[in-house]
Amino acid sequence: MSQKRRDRLLRELPLYVMIVPSFVLVLIYSYGAMIGVTIAFQKFSPAKGLFGSAFIGFNNFINLFSMPNIWTVVRNTIVISLWKMGGGIIVPVVFALLLNEVRQNFVKRGFQTLVYLPNFLSWIVLAGVFMDILSPSSGIVNRVLSALGAAPIFFLGDKFWFPITMVVTEIWKGFGFGSVIYLAGLTGIDPTLYEASEIDGANRWKQTLHVTLPGITSLIVLMTVLSMGNILNGGFDQIYNMYSAAVYETGDILDTFVYRLGIESAQFALATAAGLFKSVISFIFVVASYYLADRIAGYRIY
């Protein structure tokens, strides 16, 4: 028995050795940071460190939620991310349905090649491109608008237009690649269903309504549920690179707020508290979304 046990441990040992490097790094950088959230409850000073700073309970949170602009920031985050979630589901689905009607494979591939492109570029490059083309004085978009007789629009500097621009450009970046999953789902629909519906006298539109859409409904539900976890992610990469003080009122989101508070103003404890507030709510949403995805669609991440 003990011989058998030793054999088994010996057989497992290499598995432990393999997993140790990533275990240690994740322990330090992910779990270390998780322990670091305790500074949200401290009167933190970097010199005294995590273990030397005094605990002050929920004072940082009380201060945070008495900041005049915090609720504006929370509202902006939710408004922007809800629009992005909605558009991020509808546009790829519609695009996939339209593309699915194209029968020539090379035409299909051609369209795909063009629309997938923005997805792979960083928001830095894209912000550079948008700042150029959306510029009210020299950008090509406003030149087209003025040729049509419209007044120039300050897309990135106007409180009304900024969040709209963020939502549209985010959907623009992701819709092509977002459609991949639905296209995969569409190819999986049983062709005999189309034949049967044709015999029953259904035209293409009826087929789309009664065969194609039901065929990908579970995928749409799954993607909707999974996107719920992003409710407090307004899109830091995008917004931080395109916003300015002029549009804080409608464009400042939790992540940009935390960044300015923490890194730019060095209010570590307050910024950590704001970050923790976001993390806890996101955690609840992410766990709920995975739970629902498992229950509804049998999706599991592992």
Partner 1 sequence: MKIKTSASRKVFMTFNFLILTMLSLMCVLPFLNVLAISFSDKIPVTEHRVAFWPVGFNTAAYSFILSQPAFMRALVVSVQRTLLGVAVNLILIILTAYPLSKSREEFRARGFFSWFYVITILFSPGLIPAYLVVYYTKLMNTVWALVLPGALPVFSMLVVMNYIRGLPKELEEAAYIDGANHVQTLWRVILPLCAPTLATVTLFSFVGHWNSWYDGMMYMSVVDKYPLQTYLRTVIINPESFFRNVTNVSTNIAVYLGLVNARTTSAAQLFLAMIPIMLVYPFLQKYFTTGLVLGSVKG
Binding to partner 1 in span 153-172, by CB under 8 A: 172
Closest to 175 (Cα-Cα) out of 234, 258, 111? 111
Q: At what angle do helices 105-116 and 70-100 cross, to 10 degrees?
A: 160
Supply the Cα-derived Rg of the chain in whole angstroms: 25
Question: Minimum CB separation from partner 1 for residue 64, in Å?
Answer: 13
Site residues (CB under 8 A) for partner 1, limited to 124-153? 124-125, 127-133, 138, 140, 143
- In the complex, the smallest distance separating the C-beta of residue 73 from partner 1, rounded to whole angstroms, is 15
Q: Which residue among 70, 181, 220, 228 contacts partner 1 (CB under 8 A)?
A: 181
Q: According to CB under 8 A, which residues from 54 to 83 bind partner 1?
A: none
Binding residue for partner 1, selected from 7, 32, 150, 214, defined by CB under 8 A: 32
CA dist., res. 124 & res. 189, Å (int): 39
Q: Which of 59, 112, 197, 224 binds partner 1 (CB under 8 A)?
A: 112
Q: Which two tokens stand for residue 227?
A: 């996107």
Is residue 275 within the footprint of partner 1 (CB under 8 A)?
yes
Question: For 140-152, b where at least 16 C-beta lie within 10 A, e where not — what string?
Answer: ebbeeeeeeeeee
Residue 29 found at the interface with partner 1 (CB under 8 A): yes
Residue 91 tokens, joined: 């546009």
Per CB under 8 A, does 196 bind partner 1? no
**For residues 61 and 116, which CB has a smaller minimum distance to partner 1 in the complex?**
116
Rounded Cα distance between 246 and 254, Å, is: 17
List the one residue from 195, 200, 249, 294 that touches partner 1 (CB under 8 A).
Answer: 195
Instruction: Tell whether residue 255 is a contact of partner 1 (CB under 8 A).
Output: yes
Place of tokens 């201060």: 63
